[in-house]
Amino acid sequence: MADSTSLRGVGFSSAVLKDHGKRKQFISKLSYSQRSSFEVLLEWLDSPQPGRDVDRETTKRAKSLNITTYRSIMARLRDSEIRRRFGRKPCKPSELASLRRMAMCYAACERISSSYWRLAPPPSKDIFLTPNTPLHGASLVADITFDHETPYYLWDCQRRETRTVQEIVDAEGSFPDYVAISHSWVRWQDTSAPRLELPGVPWEIPRNKKFDVEKLPDMLAALPWRYAWIDLFTIPQGYMLTTEMRRRQDWEIKSAPLIFRKALKAVAWLDDLPSWSSLPRALEYLSLQYLSSASSTSGVDKNLLLPSIRTAAADADKPLELLRHDPNRQAPADDIWEPNAWFTSMWSLQEAIMRPDVLLCNGTWEFLEIGNGVPIALNDIAAFLRVCSGSAATTQPQPLCVRELYQLFERAGLMNLLELTRETSVMYVEKLAGFSPVSDRAYPQIVSSGGTGNPHDKPSTTVSAHGRETRIISDSA
């Protein structure tokens, strides 16, 4: 079913909103894009709505200041998706796609900012064990089909062993939910040390100079998921593999994009980042900035909001931990460009394209959160940067961490996580086989739906002639 078709065009009726059985049946017919649009509309329609007088005043103020708000975006999406357009032409496919992307972006900002401002009760741990609604947060992901769609192996965090998916299905009677873990380690492989024979893993595991592989099972056992896909434990490693093991290795590598897309959750483990410091403060600042300009949330006291923004700005006026810094000075981002290793790996960014809603963890497996434990995904950050870049508040000097965050996301192309299409996603994934390794100042870029990548004139990776090597791992950069 074409993503460009409106919800009314695929059979939406008011009964879908009232009858959960019909709603479930309706959702089953939708593409990723349509389902995401429908779910974000439901989120808005189910939320408390301001009275008509408040609504009129908000709309009037937004128009007079030429401000786009969450409410105005959602009203436009409702009109384009589910209302009859008597005497009016249907919304053009390109306009509908653009509107859906904007709605996903603003809805993510509204959801996070409102929770942070009101200090809502901490989310249940079940937040990590239930599917996202909408599907991929702030991003409108594209439907992509590959030959291999499921992992061959998964790591059982409880039993601490690698198991075949078929074995798990036979034992449990259904396909298991799992978390897909993205990390970067190959450039730091310790070839001088003997490979590790770890109980529960049917192949020898390479050691690296970034983290102790022997401690990895204990780390994974502390996570909220029973099953995990992580390359060291689920892609056969080494050169001395049987023919059957090489076949399984090839399967797993070719399946990697869809393994991430099909995972219940995806996590980027920044194993060399000791702790979160300024980034949560920067996100708090951006969420308050959003509330001051683009939100239509009622009950936000502007007299309290402005002092809170000033306090948050002071807290965020520190170097961004995702960049390397000279400890003797707080240089601006223009003078520093050595991002964390995860952001310079072609495989990491491929996984981010498949799952732009990837959650971020530091080296001790602490999730990136704000407020009372609200987890923040990679595309949530992009959404805040996109929405707040056009707000009136950005006329004021931005805190150092926020400026550096803009630099990182723009130069690496991560802002384009909000607008990737099927064509550009497939093109990017297919190009991965020919990329040469990157250095600190030569890094990959994500291609946007318009076909352009990095807006900055910075060096990028070059394409080499060799094809994909399947003898090791998934982190080829």
Which of the residue ranges 75-89, 309-323, 348-362 would you say has the lowest mean pLDDT?
75-89
Predicted local distance difference test score (pLDDT) of residue 475: 36
Q: Give the span between the Cα atoms of 372 and 340, in whole angstroms.
A: 26
- pLDDT band at residue 356 using 50, 70 and 90 as cut-offs: very high
Residues with Cβ within 8 Å of residue 49, at least 6 apart in sequence: 55
Highest mean pLDDT among 186-190, 264-268, 291-295: 264-268
The verdict on 64 and 146 lying in the same domain is no
Q: How far apart are CA 341 and CA 460, in angstroms?
A: 15
Question: DSSP class of residue 331?
Answer: -
Tell me: pLDDT of 331 over 50: yes
Q: Are 259 and 150 in contact (CB under 8 A)?
A: yes
Alpha-carbon torsion, ordered 243, 245, 247, 248, to 10 deg:
170
The H or E element containing residue 227 is: strand 227-229
The pLDDT value recorded for residue 448 is: 59
Q: Within this chain, do residues 324 and 400 fall inside the same structural domain, yes or no? A: yes
For residue 117, being part of any structural domain is answered with: yes
For residue 460, the enclosing domain spans 125-477
- Residue 215, SS3 per DSSP: helix
More confident call, 467 vs 392: 392
113: which 2 tokens?
Answer: 């900012």
Same domain, 108 and 190: no
- Residue 297's pLDDT is 63
411: in domain: yes
The amino acid present at 338, given as its one-letter code, is E
**What DSSP letter does each residue of 89-136 carry, written as one string?**
PPPPHHHHHHHHHHHHHHHHHHHHHHHHHHTPPPPPGGGGTS--SSTT
Instruction: Give the Å distances, CA to CA, from 294 to 105, 233, 397.
Output: 11, 44, 19
pLDDT bracket for residue 357 (50, 70, 90): very high
How distant is the alpha carbon of residue 145 from its chain centre?
20
Distance CA 450, CA 162 (A): 41
Backbone angles phi and psi of 430, in degrees to 5: -65, -30
pLDDT at 453 over 70: no
Contact of 309 with 292, CB cutoff 8 Å: yes
Mean pLDDT of 83-107: 83
Ramachandran region, residue 160 (left: φ > 0; alpha: ψ -120 to 50; beta: rest): left
In a domain, 269, yes or no: yes
Count CB-CB contacts under 10 A for residue 461: 19
Average pLDDT over residues 124-149: 81
Cα 195 from chain centre = 33
Q: Which of 124, 153, 174 is the last residue of a domain?
A: 124
Distance CA 431, CA 461 (A): 11
Q: Which candidate, 232, 228, 149, 218, places its Cα nearest to that of 184?
A: 232
pLDDT of 220 higher than 70: yes
pLDDT beyond 60 at 137: yes
Closest CA to 6 of 87, 89, 63: 89
153, part of any domain: yes
List CB contacts of 368: < 8 A, sequence separation 6 or more.
276, 279, 280, 283, 359, 360, 361, 362, 375, 376
Lowest mean pLDDT among 120-129, 317-326, 467-476: 467-476
| Span 57-94, pLDDT tens digits | 555 555 555 567 888 899 999 999 998 765 567 778 88
On whether both 13 and 147 belong to a single domain, the answer is no
> Does a structural domain hold residue 319?
yes
Question: CB under 8 Å to 60, separation ≥6 — which residues?
Answer: none
Tell me the mean pLDDT in the region 256-264. Answer: 90
Residue predicted with more confidence, 474 or 30: 30
**Mean pLDDT calculated for residue range 201-221:** 94
pLDDT attached to residue 186: 86
What are the counts of helices (DSSP H) followed by strands (DSSP E) for the chain?
16, 8
- Of residues 88 and 203, more confidently modeled: 203
Note whether 263 and 280 are same-domain residues. Answer: yes
Q: How far from the centroid of its chain's Cα atoms is residue 217's Cα?
A: 25
Question: What does the pLDDT read at residue 335?
Answer: 54
Residue 1, in any domain of the structure = no
358 and 418 housed in the same domain: yes
Tell me the two tokens of residue 280: 């949560």
Q: Tell me: the pLDDT tens digits for 26-66?
A: 999 998 899 999 999 999 988 776 544 445 555 555 555 55
Rounded mean pLDDT of 466-471? 25
Residue type, 135: L
How far apart, in Å, are the Cα atoms of 256 and each of 174, 270, 430? 21, 19, 12
Q: At 326, is the pLDDT very low, low, confident or very high (cuts 50, 70, 90)? A: low
Whole-model pTM over 0.75: yes
- Which of 183 and 348 is assigned the larger pLDDT? 183
Residue type, position 462, single letter: T
How many domains does the chain fold into?
Answer: 2
Which stretch of 101-105, 209-213, 223-227, 243-247 has the lowest confidence by average pLDDT?
A: 243-247
Q: What is the mean pLDDT of residues 4-17?
A: 90
**Token pair for residue 470?**
């399947």
Domain end (from 90, 124, 158): 124
Q: Is 77 domain-assigned?
A: yes
pLDDT above 90 coverage of the chain, percent: 45
Residue 116 lies inside a defined structural domain of this protein: yes
Place of tokens 């007299």: 303
Are residues 266 and 402 part of one domain? yes
**Shared-domain flag, residues 129 and 261:** yes
**Range name among 49-53, 186-190, 307-311, 313-317 with the lowest pLDDT average:** 49-53
Q: Are residues 417 and 269 in the same domain?
A: yes
Q: Is the pLDDT of residue 298 over 70?
A: no
72, with CB counted inside 10 A (0-12, 13-18, 19+), is middle
- 105 and 239 in one domain? no
Domain boundary among 97, 124, 151: 124
Give the mean pLDDT of 289-312: 81
Q: Which segment of 46-60, 248-262, 399-413 scores lowest on mean pLDDT?
A: 46-60
Check: CB of residue 107 under 8 Å from CB of residue 136: no
Share the mean pLDDT of the chain. 80
72 and 149 together in one domain = no
Based on the fold, state whether residues 333 and 462 are members of the same structural domain: yes
Of 259, 421, 464, nearest to 351 (Cα)?
Answer: 259
Average pLDDT (430-457) is: 46
Listed residue (381, 376, 183, 402) closest to 273, CA to CA: 183
pLDDT value, residue 164: 95
